[in-house]
Structure 1
């Protein structure tokens, strides 16, 4: 095991995630945060499953995949209706598409949310394919759910929808497309699709790659959405771990440079310029994504720095937050969110999972600092 995954923080992260996983396999986004409590996201959950799978907790990841499959099977007729309507030129409105999050029992949420997001459905396919490759597992028990998801995505991938942050539903987001393409490529290569679906998956992925290169870049780097000039911290995931674009290519290098110059201070990465959520702080999970991309590009030293920054955001109880307030973009907006939803989500299971995932990629030659410093990281 890597020294990073052998550390006290990594051990706590794995124990926290697996301990909070429900009997049915869902991962709570955060156990106590008012707006997230009681819900599991396909996107967050898939990255969490990938993190614990990489850390060796294969059974936990497979229980999450079982949960995803159950959610999809229970909506099989609705998914087939969405696909049929879309292929007939009558794409359903966003409110009738699959939601981004579900209750632990797999039901739709009763409270209003920014729900139409496609990225999670690509991400669960990608995480499953990565798990099967990593552990040599048999994916046959998830085949029917995979087929439903592939049909849904190949019919719907080009539609505008909300992004990772539940914002900007009128745009086509590059990070969303990266999740979809990675998922389609993953299951196409895992032998889980019949000939027709495999063809459709590969064709859709190729179209996504071509369209991103045509409309999703600016000055040689990936951008937040088609037509934008801005970057988003989630774009690091398109390089690694999703692997949609080569981190060592000119596109990868320029994207990393833009993320570092525009969004990263020290080792802490913001979501995007103009972010006002809790004042627009720095997100440990985004620093881990950036670390994975740097590591894949061959810059191990920077990956270690980003890991150590993320680790240093842990509380005295070793819980990792969603974001920290040491370098806010919009400090005047923080109090309003504190009054609306309470303190920043802590622990956030996605943050813990990304620390595990980056730790799993780092070798044992560079030790962690004995005690991560928390200077400049108020919560």
Structure 2
């Protein structure tokens, strides 16, 4: 059983050691050009960087106090987006651009498209990056001028295509409009509003109204508009994106629904129908839920998730993408191992989210 009390000095030292290890894993694998690889040794992720993974990872690194590493990531995104200026302008001028013509969700380390097929049309990463770069700049007293041209590309892209169905965080269901995707876009547009002349708050209010009307069921947020299911990514709509006000009835009911349907002993599943590697528990989602609990004042719950994460460190000292202690669909695990090999480890996003939760609980070093 995971302890619910505050850590003693020996346990605290171990938790801080994992924060140091997480920072080291992330920065050791950061590409010289600034990209954070999703998972440096995993067959399907190797050689690619996602805006979603990287933006959360950069937030963890920024909170840890490493201004240089996080800044290099934002420089990389800025450069990749600046090279997409003409593409975004052409998309905005087109009557009905195809999904294949849209900006990608993942980039090679030089900012190019990948050469192999992927479920690429996902808009959440662009909102996530806006939120992440503003949070980093605000935290460390930096000017956004350094990244303004890339910011302008992301803003124009999101304002034009925020309401278009696309793949979700898990690269599934391109036919739906996903609440977590809308939350990330909302959070990014609200964060960047003071730094752009584009009327992004008008779009943000349309997102909020749409989710209020079609993205709730029985008082909680749903996986996509018109659904009744929950998803492990939904707490992000509360903290950090604030599509739903922390402390509100919808926030409380959403967190309770995620705990009820997806949380087992501190580890959080993506969704109940998840068959990817058998549907295990994801480190990053445990950290996301813990982050929300900490922000809501539930430090007992937050410590529970931090301890669960620390218990998942493998023999190499790394945090994987997911663990298989409580598989939802165990019969499907072998097909993914045959297809892609063992579960991704280390996953930099897992390490980045651990840094965020550790910082929320006040146990990370601030000087790097």
What is the TM-score when the length of structure 2 is the normalising length? 0.94
Does the 8 A contact of 1:291 with 1:302 survive in 2?
A: yes
* Unmatched tracts of structure 1, length 5 or more: 366-379
- Is 2:56 the partner of 1:39? no
Partner of 2:9: none
Partner of 1:374: none
How far residue 118 of structure 1 moved from its aligned partner, in angstroms, is 0.2
Partner of 1:215: 214
Query: What does the per-residue CA deviation read over 1:255-274, in whole Å, with 9 as the maximum and x for residues that have no partner?
Result: 01000000111101000011
Does the 8 A contact of 2:78 with 2:150 survive in 1?
A: yes
Select which of 10, 22, 25 maps to 2:34.
25
Partner of 2:23: 14
Partner of 2:184: 179
Partner of 1:193: 196
Tell me how far apart the structure 1 counterparts of residues 125 and 133 of structure 2 sit (CA, whole Å): 12
User: What does 1:215-364 align with in structure 2 at a 5 Å threshold?
Assistant: 215-363=214-362
How far residue 143 of structure 1 moved from its aligned partner, in angstroms, is 0.8
Tell me how far apart the structure 2 counterparts of residues 51 and 243 of structure 1 sit (CA, whole Å): 18
Does the 8 A contact of 2:267 with 2:308 survive in 1?
A: yes
How far residue 364 of structure 1 moved from its aligned partner, in angstroms, is 5.2
Select which of 105, 110, 117 maps to 2:110.
105
* Unmatched tracts of structure 2, length 5 or more: 1-11
Partner of 1:371: none
User: What does 1:36-75 align with in structure 2 at a 5 Å threshold?
Assistant: 36-75=45-84
Tell me how far apart the structure 2 counterparts of residues 126 and 227 of structure 1 sit (CA, whole Å): 26
Does the 8 A contact of 2:16 with 2:363 survive in 1?
A: no
Partner of 2:163: 158
Does the 8 A contact of 1:233 with 1:259 survive in 2?
A: yes
Tell me how far apart the structure 1 counterparts of residues 363 and 62 of structure 2 sit (CA, whole Å): 19
What is the TM-score when the length of structure 1 is the normalising length? 0.91
Give the paired residue count. Answer: 353
Does the 8 A contact of 1:5 with 1:11 survive in 2?
A: no
Tell me how far apart the structure 2 counterparts of residues 242 and 62 of structure 1 sit (CA, whole Å): 21
Tell me how far apart the structure 1 counterparts of residues 260 and 352 of structure 2 sit (CA, whole Å): 26
Tell me how far apart the structure 1 counterparts of residues 225 and 294 of structure 2 sit (CA, whole Å): 27
How far residue 241 of structure 1 moved from its aligned partner, in angstroms, is 2.2
Partner SS state of residue 127, structure 2: helix
Does the 8 A contact of 2:15 with 2:310 survive in 1?
A: no
Tell me how far apart the structure 1 counterparts of residues 217 and 344 of structure 2 sit (CA, whole Å): 33
